[in-house]
Structure 1
Amino acid sequence: MFNIWQLDAKSRGHQYVKDKTRKTASRPSVAEALAEAIFSGHYQPGDFVPKELALCEQFAINRSAVRSDLRQLVDVGIIERISGHGSKVREHAEWNILDPLVTEWMTRYASPNPQLQREILAFRLDVEPYVAMTAAKRATAKDLVALEEAFEGMGQHLRTAPASGEPGTKARLHSDFDVAFHAAIFKATHNIVWAQLSHILRPSIYLLVSMSNVSEADDPAESLERHRHLMESIRARQPREAFLAAQDVLGGTARALGIEPGESALGREFDWAKPAQHPTS
């Protein structure tokens, strides 16, 4: 039987909450260990995870504790309990990937998953160009400062080697500022829903950003220039240019990940001949 505690820590993916202090558990977390095994690919949709009694024995905890932890995975749509058979991993489409717990697991443990990457990218392609367009109309001086600081951070960690010498530190810091750049655009819309959505989407954005930034398929300098064009379009209050620049940034992400980006539904339908309207509540 596969021991879900034997996963190599180096294969756990890019950690989004790097320095987050986690509560010391009074017992091993079956939910955490199973999440790691599922997101890292040891269990695929349709696979059954170990039965309750096996988990009780492996973790040296009682059945009630095991059931409580399995319930966490059931509640977020990752597994389903089938009477008389056990617990089966559900299809990716059934996972509540925007649930904070799921997104944290995904960014800490997920191995490259083309289907999830494609779904996240497709969503971003339909949302972020519109967000950038809105930010170009509403951004304040404070918003532009936040955007520029994030951009400068991206450039700094692109040009300089990490002082600590820790492998991956440079790419990780670059990714942190890259995510902050996109979050600043959401906030610059001055729409409370978009701003809150940036917090929900942040781990999913980080998942794509961190993987694309370490890809050999994308030139970091070209990526930085695409971000610069997006920032300058927002600064110059050019909604159309901001929309197209956001599409270009995401197109670069798609190329770096080897994903066919497709065409944004919003991009197909938006009529630039008409004056842009502010979103209504």
Structure 2
Amino acid sequence: MLPAAEPRAGVPKRGQIDRIGARVLEDLVESIVTGAVAIGEYLPPEQALCDEFGVSRTVIRECVKRIQEKGLVEVAQGRGTRVRPFNDWNVLDPLVFDSLVRHDESLGVLDEVSVVRAALEGVMASEVAATGSAESLLQIQGHLHDMRRLQDDNPAFLEADMQFHLSVMSASKNQIAATIARSFFVRPRQSARWDGNNPVDAVPRTLAEHERVFEAIEARNAVAARVAMEEHILGSWRRRRLPDGAHHLSP
């Protein structure tokens, strides 16, 4: 058994968040995202939060540290903990992002996610078309073959779809864009709102759009690859998007 790692010098030891603490953390994030505590306002004092959640000061202090790390608040000595402007929030943080999506009645967050994804993945597809290796193209093509083969198995088809996108990201060698796009690709798929109202011809249409993306990449047409990827991502979201304020549609 390997010895336990020694803490690095100068790095403060993080507190532990148990199940109760995790729930407090989620509730604090939610209160900020929903505007229950609005931007520029202060969280209740420490003792008030202890009383509200029925936990110790240690739990509250650790949770406040966590939401501070997520960019949601700033702690002013002697004044309290104030909610920071939205542009300071780490919206890629899983708790923050999930809360934003869950409470987004207009679906504006997912609309914006789709636009950002389309732009980033469009750029990466064009990079793969211009400079991608033959090996990387074979890998992307393999996932496309899987999509063709698995059209009657929806979960497996969606997995092959995801692997197609992730392979394009990886082949682009653009690590920053890939990291952001991967977050905006994986996290929304865990929300029922992202699934939305899939039309009956969703699978063949999705497959055809991926075919166009790969054909452009294989032809080394960077412009066509970018356009095909952007049209696929934006078009797919428009097809699935629920009406504003709707949580689901009846089958």
Compute the TM-score of the two structures, normalised by the length of structure 2.
Answer: 0.67
Q: CA deviation at 1:209?
A: 5.0
Match 1:79 to one of 70, 73, 85: 73
Distance, in Å, in 1 between the alignment partners of 2:68 and 2:142 is 41
CA deviations over 1:15-56 (Å, ceiling 9, x no partner): xxxxxxxx98386223244335656x5847548766532432
Distance, in Å, in 2 between the alignment partners of 1:150 and 1:37 is 41
Could you tell me whether the CA contact under 8 Å between 1:79 and 1:89 is conserved in 2? Answer: yes
Question: Aligned letter for 1:63?
Answer: R
Match 2:220 to one of 237, 240, 246: 237
SS in 1 for 2:102: coil
Question: Aligned letter for 2:124?
Answer: V
Query: Structure 2 stretches of 5 or more lacking a match?
Result: 1-15, 243-251
Distance, in Å, in 1 between the alignment partners of 2:162 and 2:38 is 29
Residue in structure 2 matched with residue 14 of structure 1 by the alignment: none
Q: CA deviation at 1:232?
A: 2.1
Q: CA deviation at 1:82?
A: 7.0
Q: CA deviation at 1:129?
A: 1.8
- Is 1:201 equivalent to 2:181 in the alignment? yes
Residue in structure 2 matched with residue 139 of structure 1 by the alignment: 132
Could you tell me whether the CA contact under 8 Å between 2:198 and 2:239 is conserved in 1? Answer: yes
Larger radius of gyration: 2
Residues 213/196 of structure 1: CA separation in 2 closer, same or farther (3 Å cut): same
Residue in structure 2 matched with residue 181 of structure 1 by the alignment: 164
Q: How many residues align?
A: 220
Could you tell me whether the CA contact under 8 Å between 2:70 and 2:90 is conserved in 1? Answer: yes
Compute the TM-score of the two structures, normalised by the length of structure 1.
Answer: 0.61
SS in 2 for 1:28: helix
- Is 1:31 equivalent to 2:25 in the alignment? yes
Q: CA deviation at 1:140?
A: 2.1
How much identity, in percent, do the aligned residues show?
A: 21
Question: Aligned letter for 1:215?
Answer: G
Question: Aligned letter for 2:196?
Answer: S
Residue in structure 1 matched with residue 195 of structure 2 by the alignment: 214
Residue in structure 1 matched with residue 94 of structure 2 by the alignment: 103
Residues 97/139 of structure 1: CA separation in 2 closer, same or farther (3 Å cut): same
Q: CA deviation at 1:151?
A: 3.2
Question: Aligned letter for 2:25?
Answer: A
Distance, in Å, in 2 between the alignment partners of 1:128 and 1:145 is 19
Residues 144/27 of structure 1: CA separation in 2 closer, same or farther (3 Å cut): same
Q: Which 10-residue stretch deviates more, 86-95 or 245-254?
A: 86-95
Could you tell me whether the CA contact under 8 Å between 1:154 and 1:224 is conserved in 2? Answer: yes
Residue in structure 2 matched with residue 3 of structure 1 by the alignment: none
Question: Aligned letter for 1:118?
Answer: D
CA deviations over 1:193-240 (Å, ceiling 9, x no partner): x13532343121224456676222554121221112102221222222
Residue in structure 2 matched with residue 9 of structure 1 by the alignment: none
Could you tell me whether the CA contact under 8 Å between 1:131 and 1:185 is conserved in 2? Answer: yes
Residues 70/79 of structure 1: CA separation in 2 closer, same or farther (3 Å cut): same
Query: Structure 1 stretches of 5 or more lacking a match?
Result: 1-22, 162-169, 260-281
Residue in structure 2 matched with residue 94 of structure 1 by the alignment: 88
Residue in structure 1 matched with residue 46 of structure 2 by the alignment: 52
